Amino acid sequence: MDGSHREAIVTRDVKWPNSLTLDLVLRKVYWCDSKFHSIYSANFDGSERRAILHSTEYLPHPFSLTVFEDTMYWTDWQKEAILQANKFTGQDVKIIAQSHPTPMTVHVYHSYRQPNGTNHCTPLNGLCTHLCLPAPQIRPSDPKITCACPNGLMLMSDGLTCETELIDRSRYFAPGEEVPQGVNVTTTPPTSSEPPVEDNMAIAALCAAILLLCCASLVAYMIYRYFRKRSVHSMNFDNPVYKKTTTEDGFHLAGQQQRQSATGVIRSSQTSYQHRNNYGVTSPEDGLCEPMVNTLKF
C-alpha cells in the first residue's frame, strides 16, 4: 500500500514486537513479542486482542512468524529452530526444523496466502513516472493508486511526476536532526525587511564607478581641446603682388572716372551753348558752365 491513513491499532503491553503476519481468511493480525515471550492476535482494527501462546521454553527469542490454515510457524534465535503450534489454542508445539544457527524469516507460499487481486497500476504504470502503489479504498470515491518517488526526488503538483527539488531544511527537519541520505536540502536564511548590506555596498560601488568614469571623460575631452587648439598655427603675411595690383587698379579707376566726368561737363556745356545760339534763350546754369568750359581746354 502507499502508507497513507496510518493508525495505531495496538498501543499497550508492547515491548519488543519482532514479527507481524496476517490471516486474510479470518481477518486477523498476529505478532510475537520477544520481551514477553508471547504470540498475540487481534482483529485488523486492534480489537479482540488475546495471547495465543506464552512460554519461555518455546519462545525464548522469537524472530519471525507466519500462519497457514490452523497452524502458526515461527523461528527462534535461542532455540535455533523453526517451530509450529495451533493458531487458536497455542497447543501442539513442535520443532519442525532444528540446527539452523540464527534462523531469520519464515514464509508459507500458497494461493490462500496471496489471493488474486486487480493490479490498478497496469497498464502504463498508472501514468506514474516512477513508483505506482495501491491506495486504500476507504470511500468509493478514493483513488485506487498513488504515485511515489524514490529517495532524492520529490513528487510534483500533478501527482504523477518525480523531479529533483531542494528541500527547505527548516520546514521538514528539526535543528540537529540527521537528514536522510539522498535528500537534497537547503537552509532558508531569516528574512528581513531591510536589504542586505552586500547589496547596498554593490550599489554604492556601481554609482562611484559611473561618477569616476564621467569625470575621467570630461578631463580627457578638455585635454583634447587644449592640445588641438595649440596644434593649429596661423601665419599672416602681405602679398606684394596682390597689393601692387590692387593699387594700380585703384589709380586706373580713379583716372578713368575723372576723365569721364570732364567729358560729361564739356558735352553739357556744348549743348547749352548750342541751345542758346539756336533759340536765343539763356538759362541760369549757363553762367556756371562757361568758366569750366574755358578752363577745361585740351
Tell me the per-residue pLDDT of 257-270, one tens digit each, with 9 for 90 and over: 666 665 554 555 55
User: 75 with 33, same domain?
Assistant: yes
Residue 2 lies in a domain: no
**292 has pLDDT over 50:** no
- Tell me how many domains the chain contains: 3
CATH number of the domain that 129 lies in? 2.10.25.10
User: 52 with 87, same domain?
Assistant: yes
pLDDT in tens, 141-188: 888 899 999 988 999 989 899 998 655 555 555 666 665 554 555 555
User: 92 with 136, same domain?
Assistant: no
What pLDDT shows up at residue 201?
81
Q: Which residues of 240-267 are buried (b: 16+ CB within 10 A; e: fewer)?
A: eeeeeeeeeeeeeeeeeeeeeeeeeebe
Q: Which three cell numbers stand for residue 95?
A: 520443532
User: 128 with 94, same domain?
Assistant: no
Residue 118 lies in a domain: no
Residue 156 lies in a domain: yes
Of 115, 140, 174, the last residue of a domain is 174
What pLDDT shows up at residue 275?
47
Residue 139 lies in a domain: yes
Residue 190 lies in a domain: no
Residue 131 lies in a domain: yes
User: 43 with 90, same domain?
Assistant: yes
Q: What is the pTM of this model?
A: 0.51
Residue 54 lies in a domain: yes
What pLDDT shows up at residue 274?
53
Name the residue range of residue 132's domain.
124-174
**8 has pLDDT over 70:** yes
Residue 48 lies in a domain: yes
Choice between 22 and 237, residue whose per-residue pLDDT is larger: 22
What pLDDT shows up at residue 162?
93
Of 140, 174, 208, the last residue of a domain is 174
pLDDT in tens, 190-209: 555 555 566 778 888 888 88
